[in-house]
Amino acid sequence: MAGRNVAHIRGRDLKAYRKDAQMVFQDPFGSLNPTRTIEQHLAFPVRKYRREGQGRVGDLIDELLAKVGLTPVAETRRKYPHELSGGQRQRVAIARALAVNPKFIVADEPISMLDVSIRAGILKLMNELREEMNIAFLYITHDLASARYIGNRIMVLYGGKVMETAPSAELIRHPAHPYTRLLLAATPGTRHQGPLPETSNRPPNLLEDRVGCPFADRCPLMSEVCRAQQPPLAEVAPGHYAACHHPG
């Protein structure tokens, strides 16, 4: 974060990092403690990281719940996680992340376990928070359509490597990498949607020493050079990069 390798920070630096960077997990049923009320979930980070007096802690909890749309707040504060729906629990998880005033939130598949009907509400909330509170979100998903909705920039990974990255609209309109094009072909509602070619479904073996392109086993455009050399991430248009020997 901010150019630092966070794998090695410790002590006071780690505490400061935890305040700056928060996480919203995929499973809103597992990420909250079933024995704690919603108030307790929010009071802990507020006390620990904001060092507020008892009176102010209550006000901040009310503000956080109102910000994520969990009203009436007095009622929500007293509830336990099992008394909330999946979407409401994910809103609590977002409020908990906001409780320390972060600069950056990693949201790992935050809507994949929710009903389709409430997914849009969570994405809308994240977009609003991004704009109002100037928080950067790293949104991890398998769903390109929702990535486009929330992201300024999309990065497509395969086998732990960056295949393509570009501003969201550019990547969706002009995908350069065969893997991105296949993902879009499988995404309902995009103009790229269409039949998928007959290719292997074999996932990459992350343990073997790889020489060529990680996507070679599944790529319809694979050629000899793809097996021999790993393609570098190269600029194919301003701000648009793809790791492919034969970008489209």
- The candidate with the shortest Cα–Cα distance to 137, out of 161, 154, 162, is 154
Total number of residues binding ligand SF4 (CB under 6 A)?
12
Q: Cβ of residue 172: shortest distance to ligand SF4, in angstroms? A: 18
Of 178, 180, 183, 184, the residue at the interface with ligand SF4 (CB under 6 A) is 178
Q: Is 21 in the site for ligand SF4 (CB under 6 A)?
A: no
Q: Cβ of residue 95: shortest distance to ligand SF4, in angstroms? A: 41
Whichever of 215 and 241 has its CB closer to ligand SF4, that residue is: 215
Q: Is 244 in the site for ligand SF4 (CB under 6 A)?
A: yes
Q: Cβ of residue 243: shortest distance to ligand SF4, in angstroms? A: 7
- Using H for helix, E for strand and C for coil, what is the string for the chain? CCCCCHHHCCHHHHHHHHHHEEEECCCCCCCCCCCCCHHHHHHHHHHHHHCCCHHHHHHHHHHHHHHCCCCCHHHHHHCCHHHCCHHHHHHHHHHHHHCCCCCEEEEECCCCCCCHHHHHHHHHHHHHHHHHHCCEEEEECCCHHHHHHHCCEEEEEECCEEEEEEEHHHHHHCCCCHHHHHHHHCCCCCCCCCCCCCCCCCCCCCCCCCCCCCCHHHCCCCCHHHHHCCCCCEEEECCEEECCCCCC
Whichever of 23 and 221 has its CB closer to ligand SF4, that residue is: 221
Whichever of 118 and 221 has its CB closer to ligand SF4, that residue is: 221
Whichever of 129 and 222 has its CB closer to ligand SF4, that residue is: 222
Whichever of 66 and 233 has its CB closer to ligand SF4, that residue is: 233
User: Who's near 70: CB < 8 A, 6+ residues apart?
Assistant: 38, 76, 88, 91, 92, 95
Q: Is 161 in the site for ligand SF4 (CB under 6 A)?
A: no
Binding mask 203-242 for ligand SF4 (x = CB under 6 A): ----------x-xx--x-xx---x----x-----------
- In the beta sheet, which residues pair with residue 153? 167
Q: Cβ of residue 41: shortest distance to ligand SF4, in angstroms? A: 44
Whichever of 9 and 155 has its CB closer to ligand SF4, that residue is: 155
Q: Cβ of residue 178: shortest distance to ligand SF4, in angstroms? A: 5
Binding site for ligand SF4 (CB under 6 A): 178, 213, 215-216, 219, 221-222, 226, 231, 244-246
